[in-house]
Amino acid sequence: MVASIRLGVSSLMLHKLRSGLTTLGVLFGTSSVIAMLAIGEGASAEAQEQIKRLGSQNVILRSVKPQEDQNQGSQTTRILSYGLTHEDRERVEATFPSVGKVVPSRLVAQEARFEDRVIGQPRIVATTPEWLEVSGRRVSEGRFISGSDMRGATNVCVLGTEVARELFLFKDPIGQRVKLGADYFDVIGTIAPRVRFDSDAPGAGEETTKELFIALSTADAWFGDMNMSRRAGSFNAEEVELHELLIGVDNVDDVIGIANASREMLARFHDDQDYEVVVPLELLAQAEETKRIFNIVLGSIAGISLLVGGIGIMNVMLATVTERTREIGIRRALGAKRRDIVAQFLVETVVLSVGGGLFGVALGLLIPKVVQWYTDMPTLVTLQAPILAFTISAGIGVLFGIYPAWRASHMDPVDALRHE
Amino acid sequence: MSDLSPVAGETPSANKLIRADSGTAAAPVAEFRSIHRIYRMGNQEVRALDHVDLVFRKGEYWSIVGPSGSGKSTMLNVLGCLDRPTEGVYELGREDTGLLDDDALSELRSRRLGFIFQSYNLIPQLDVLDNIMVPLLYQSNPPKDGEERARHLAGRVGLGDRLDHRPRELSGGQMQRVAIARALVNDPDMILADEATGNLDSQTSKEILNLFDELHQEGKTIVFVTHEASVSERAERVLIMGDGRVREVRDVVKEVSA
């Protein structure tokens, strides 16, 4: 076996340029399989990561401002009332009593201030203590809102990293007091950032939302349901009871059922489409499906280039067989059986294609790095990709080597010996 | 053919081979029994071998002569199990080759036959030693001392110091010596030479023919196809072919050297 590989290599070395050029087809085929899979995997891995951080066991019910004619009443004072209600929350809790936790939250439109530094429109989330667990977020310092904060409607807040940085620079914010609207809140903790994903921000990246958290009960007591905004000549107010209901499902198998039941329930009680149901698990499934299609498409393109490489190899091997007719005759005369001749030429083809495959794997591992370096596009080389690419290239060697080898082995020894 | 050496008193007929010069006949190595080899070219029928009966015995040195198209090459191909007769029985070492499949014939070639060609037919990408060992490569149970044997034979044909040379680095005479060593490496029953000196100058031819004489003296069976009378007369028995038939078999009487 070793001897026949050595022989194959030495035969190929007689035509270094031709052998080298022949391997290029497989080389580029293999490397493009790996590179394309790496780019595809990279893109989908990032999307999946974002979805997973939303919590694959969660169902998110969100309030959405219904579509309406924006010009109507733009000069007047109006109050727009929409979204999820406390009744919805109670219905959800009553309908799915055993599924897990239902975490309501509401956004409060107030500015945040510390000494002379102001954040005009922070995302103030008023919620309950369970939010931390269900959302899967982590407190980086101090603590989150507690049950007693809820019961006492205390003026405490937890800052997102961005808010902490902007208001306090390098100072430790814990124990300080932040002014939200007209009232002072004690900072009791900070919360770690997350990678952000939501339906209206597709270009998601590192969390840059200026978010901070207060107890829902406190928000009810101080700010009510009304969020007001003034613009030149108009005064708008929105009345939203709850902006979000985060349902943490205990068992992942129930997620889809609960999502569907929630949709039906909300449809029954809401005349307008003033809500949306976000199911990370469904998004995940969609992302996986997208990835699968993506992989099939990329894989086929790369596969075609491998196929072309294989045909190139077959072409060269057929020429080689013709050129070495006499050698085949000699070997047959000296006792080579048909299968010996088949083996000899098959080994050469496989050496060509595996050689191309090896260099192709090397190049294929390099390309994603270069792509990532120049474009910041995430890439991910999974272990399967090089193995798959290499196996295919070796397989192509065998597949496209069979016919030339068969031709070689079925030459008539007498004719072959007479061949010039 | 006219300048062949004087022929022994009794010339055996083509179809009735009796060795006149020895009382006890040696064992047959190869035997043709009414062999026909007929090629069809369109409607035409070419009888390359037409009813040939022959016995090649152990230790004999045959030369086959005849004009081109007389069937001598076809005879060599059939003898070498490279071609099958259309009719008749060819026995090699008491084995009916007609009953063997392609693999078995290949095995037979690698074990029992040694080939020497006009154009040497070495394999260009192999060095001298590897070229000599090619027949062993294809035996189903190659001998363990193959390389040793190949080295020994290379030394014997005078190429012991060129084992790692490629064929293109050798002269014609040297290449033919490698081919002879290759034909001997499997210790064959019969050595088949096809115009083995046809591409060589007269001096080199003489050296190669001396080597054949040595092999003959060692008891090897040799069949040598040639069209040169000076070559054929070095053989022991001369087979004259014409139109696919055996015209004559002559035993050459060697002048006793002083």
Is the pLDDT confidence value at A302 over 70? yes
Helix (H) or strand (E) holding A276, with range, is: strand A275-278
Interface probe for B, chosen from A6, A327, A328, A337 (most Cβ of B below 10 Å), is A337
Query: Is residue A122 over pLDDT 80?
Result: yes
Residue B178 C-alpha, separation from nearest chain A C-alpha, in angstroms:
14
Instruction: Give the minimum alpha-carbon distance from A329 to chain B in angstroms, rounded to a whole number.
Output: 9
> Per the domain annotation, does B126 fall within a domain?
yes
Residue in chain A lying closest to B112 (CA): A335
Of B109, B121, B123, the CB nearest to A335: B109
Q: What is the mean pLDDT of residues B47-65?
A: 94
Q: For residue A48, what pLDDT band results from cuts at 50, 70 and 90?
A: confident
Q: Is the pLDDT of residue B55 over 90?
A: yes
Sign of CA pseudo-dihedral A43, A48, A51, A53? negative
Inter-chain touch A327–B82, beta carbons under 8 Å = no
**Contact list, B80 vs chain A (CB under 8 Å):** 333
Which residues of chain B lie closer than 8 angstroms to A331, CB-CB?
123, 134, 138
Question: Cβ of B121 under 8 Å from any chain A Cβ?
Answer: yes
Among chain A residues, CA nearest to B81 = A333
Output phi, psi for A417, to 5 deg. -70, -30
Flag whether pLDDT at A401 surpasses 60. Answer: yes
| Shortest CA distance from A4: residue in chain B | B137
**Chain B residues near residue A13 by CB distance under 8 angstroms:** 125
Return the number of CB contacts < 8 Å for A and B.
66
Question: Considering only CB atoms, which residues of chain A are within 8 Å of chain B?
Answer: 3, 7, 10-11, 13-14, 326-327, 329-340, 413-414, 417
Residue B88 domain-assigned?
Answer: no
Question: Residue A96's pLDDT band (boundaries 50, 70, 90)?
Answer: confident
Q: Pick the residue with more confidence: A378 or B256?
A: A378
**Partner A contacted by B37 (CB < 8 A):** no
Mean pLDDT: which of A31-40, A83-92, A212-221, B179-188 is highest?
Answer: B179-188
Q: Which two tokens stand for residue B258?
A: 């002083």
Nearest C-alpha neighbor of B256 from the set B5, B4, B1: B5
Q: Is the pLDDT of residue A229 over 50?
A: yes
Three-state SS at A192 = coil
**Cβ-Cβ contacts under 8 Å for B86 (sequence gap 6 or more):** B36, B37, B38
Q: How far is A49 from chain B (nearest CA, A)?
A: 56
C-beta separation of A321 from A328 below 8 A: yes
| Residue A68 pLDDT | 61
Residue of A127 and A203 predicted with greater confidence: A127
Please, what's the b/e burial string for A146-171 (b: 16 or more CB within 10 A of its CB; e: otherwise)? eeebbeebbbbbbbbbbbbebbbeee
pLDDT 10s digits, A365-388:
998 889 888 888 888 888 888 888
CA atoms of A73 and A242, how far apart (whole Å): 25
Question: Beta B87-92 vs B61-65: how paired, if at all?
Answer: unpaired
Q: Does the CB of B124 have a partner CB in chain A at under 8 Å?
A: yes
pLDDT higher at A247 or A198: A247
Chain B hits for A327, CB-CB cut-off 8 Å, are 123-124
Instruction: Count how many residues are written for chain A.
Output: 420
Of B102, B109, B124, Cβ closest to residue A334: B109
| Residues B136, B143 contacting (CB under 8 angstroms) | yes
Place of tokens 């409060």: A108
Residues of B in contact with A417 (CB under 8 A): 82, 117, 121
Q: Is residue B4 part of a domain?
A: no
**Domain membership of residue B182 as a residue range:** 59-76+107-251
* pLDDT given for residue A78 in this prediction: 65
Partners of B118 in beta bridges:
none
**B124 and A7: CB-CB below 8 Å?**
no
- Edge-to-edge strand ranges of the sheet holding B113-116: B113-116, B190-194, B222-225, B61-65, B237-242, B245-251
Mean pLDDT, all residues of chain B: 87
**Residue B184, domain CATH:** 3.40.50.300
Q: What is this model's ipTM?
A: 0.88
Phi/psi of residue B38, nearest 5 degrees: -120, 125
Q: Is the pLDDT of residue B6 over 70?
A: no
Q: Could you give the CA distance from residue A276 to residue A92 in angstroms, rounded to a whole number?
A: 15
Range of lowest pLDDT (A250-254, A327-331, A407-411): A250-254
What average pLDDT score do residues A248-264 get? 85
Judging contacts by C-beta atoms under 8 Å, the chain B residues touching residue A337 are: 102-103, 106-107, 138
Instruction: Test B139 with A335 for CB contact under 8 angstroms.
Output: yes
Of B77, B80, B121, the CB nearest to A330: B121
- Across the interface, do B126 and A337 touch by the CB < 8 Å criterion? no
Q: Which of A14, A332, A333 sits opposite B125 (nearest CB)?
A: A14
Extract the tokens encoding A330: 């000699």
pLDDT confidence tier of residue B7, bands split at 50, 70 and 90: very low
Q: What percent of chain B has pLDDT over 90?
A: 72
- Confidence class for position B10, pLDDT limits 50, 70, 90: very low
**Tens of pLDDT along B137-186?**
899 888 999 999 999 999 999 999 999 999 999 999 999 999 999 999 99
> What chain A residue is nearest to B101 in terms of C-alpha separation?
A337
Which of A61-70, A181-190, B46-55, B162-171 is predicted with the least confidence, judged by mean pLDDT?
A61-70
Whether A333 sits inside 8 A of B134 (CB atoms) is no
Give the pLDDT score at A197. Answer: 43
Cβ A335–B83 below 8 Å, yes or no?
Answer: no
Supply the pLDDT for residue A390: 84
Query: Which of A306-315, A393-402, B98-107 tops mean pLDDT?
Result: B98-107
The rounded distance, in Å, linking the Cα atoms of A234 and A35 is 55
On whether residue B48 sits in a domain, the answer given is no
Q: Taking 90 as the threshold, does the pLDDT of residue B78 lie above it?
A: yes
| Rg of chain B in Å (alpha carbons) | 18
Which residue of A1, A334, A344 is the best one to mutate when testing the B interface, meaning the one whose CB has the most B CBs within 10 A? A334
Residue of chain A nearest B105, judged by CA positions = A335
Closest CA to A309 of A361, A353, A355: A353
B98 within a domain of the structure (yes/no) = no
Give the count of domains, chain B.
1
A110 pLDDT tier (thresholds 50, 70, 90)? confident
Q: What is the pLDDT of residue B255?
A: 57
**B123 min Cα distance to partner chain A (Å):** 6
Average pLDDT of the residues in A18-25: 89
pLDDT value, residue B88: 94
How does the average pLDDT of chain A come out, rounded?
Answer: 83
Q: How far apart are CA A384 and CA A363, in angstroms?
A: 16
B103 to A337: CB separation less than 8 angstroms, yes or no: yes
pLDDT of residue A69: 52
Per the CB < 8 Å rule, is A7 touching B121? no
pLDDT digit string, tens, across residues B188-202 = 999 999 999 988 999
Long-range contacts of A314-319 (CB under 8 A, 24+ apart): A314/A349, A314/A400, A314/A401, A314/A403, A314/A404, A316/A18, A316/A19, A316/A22, A316/A352, A317/A345, A317/A348, A317/A349, A317/A352, A317/A400, A317/A401, A317/A404, A317/A405, A318/A403, A318/A404, A318/A407
Write the pLDDT tens digit of every residue in A54-92.
777 888 888 888 766 555 555 556 677 788 888 888 888
Phi, psi of A124 (to 5 degrees): -95, 115
Q: Residue range A171-197: average pLDDT?
A: 83
DSSP B42-94: TTEEEEEEEEEEEEEETT-EEEEE--TTSSHHHHHHHHTTSS--SEEEEEETT
Confidence grade of residue A342 (pLDDT, cut at 50, 70, 90): very high
- For position A232, what pLDDT does the model report? 58
Higher pLDDT, A227 or A373: A373
B256 domain residue, yes or no: no
Q: For A210-217, what is the mean pLDDT? A: 89
Which residue did the predictor score with more confidence, B25 or A189?
A: A189
Is pLDDT above 70 for B3?
no
Whole-number Å distance between alpha carbons of A157 and A180: 10
User: What integer pLDDT is reported at residue B20 of this predicted model?
Assistant: 45
Is residue B86 within 8 angstroms of chain A, CB to CB? no
Top residue of B77, B138, B141, B195 to mutate, by most chain A CBs within 10 Å, is B138
